[in-house]
A and B are shown apart, each in its own frame.
Chain A
Amino acid sequence: MVMDDPVFLAVSALTVGSAIVALETRELIYGGIALAISMLGIAGFFLLLDSPFVAMFQILVYVGAVAVLIIFTVMLVRTQALFSTKEDKGRKASGVVLVLIFMIGLGALLLVSGLSNPQLMNLQMPPVDFKAIGEEMLTYYSPVLIALGLVLGGSIIGALALARREDIETKDG
């Protein structure tokens, strides 16, 4: 395992760094922007993995829709509420320790597993053609696609129903 590709290293640093910034920065709105940058980094990984279709989907959905939604929500919530969240030092320290143990354990497990064997899996395989993705989606996975459309529609109706304000409506009659 030798990482000598500067592009890979730069995208890794961008993604991991902005993920940490998203969780640790004091202002929640900068956190939302950092999360969007992290998602862009993930899209960069998808491009490095020769999956341009998934990368474009990622940029459209995460950077275009989810990040904007989060930023709007942050703006709707009163600024005082964003800052009054008390930081629990003991909880933070135990979280860091727990995650470090978890990451070292899982990383060591992955490194000794067969995954690092280049004969089993490597990047010299031919990349997947995005036409094949479309074919797969519209033939074998077409029921999943329909169910996904229903789930998206249901979630949008649910979000709208949740956000409805009854008190204003009754005032109007």
Chain B
Amino acid sequence: MIEWYYPLLAWAAVLAAMARGLQVLFGDRGPRWLPLLVGVVAWIPVAGLPIARWLHGFNSNLSIPLVAILLNASLSPFCGRRWLDERALRAGLWFGASAGVILYPMAAGFGAFDPYGLGWHWPGIELVVGGLAVMLLWRGNAFGWVLLVTGVAWRMECMESQNVWDYLVDPVYFILSLIGLVAPRRRIAIVDRVSSDPDLSEGTAVPQP
């Protein structure tokens, strides 16, 4: 039953991040808690169903790393600290882009091999991701935490999918990662502004481009 609730969190993160993005776009106007409030809108029931569940019809598999990055962006100003620093976000972008490049072209029909099928019963993906998580955590990269949480979600079967790929990457995450890597200077500027609070002096320092 936990998979019924995951979209509530995921779509709240999407709406909150969109609100935070608009805040930044308009010169950081509005209170810090505004993204949080907008995120809560996803839980308002309409015709007996939370808005997030209605939206779930359009995209049923928002990956855990994407949700983590969106939550970081939208909640950091409110909470006063950033969980994912520049280094972690860069790791996240590389992870999303790499996983997407491996997965999507072939899954869309380029060639006779379908890597998505490996996500059901081939332990290699779990070993690779587990190894990456260990490496990142050992080196103190916070994206290792994201992969650890993804592992928890995978164990708890938080999503309706039984395929590990759906926990790791989704098309939105893939496209955002590609954009972030192709245009790094703009990305750094956006990430810096979206997930930081101009009033806060503490927290993780973010290198300026």
Partners in one complex: no
- A-binding residues in B (CB < 8 A): none
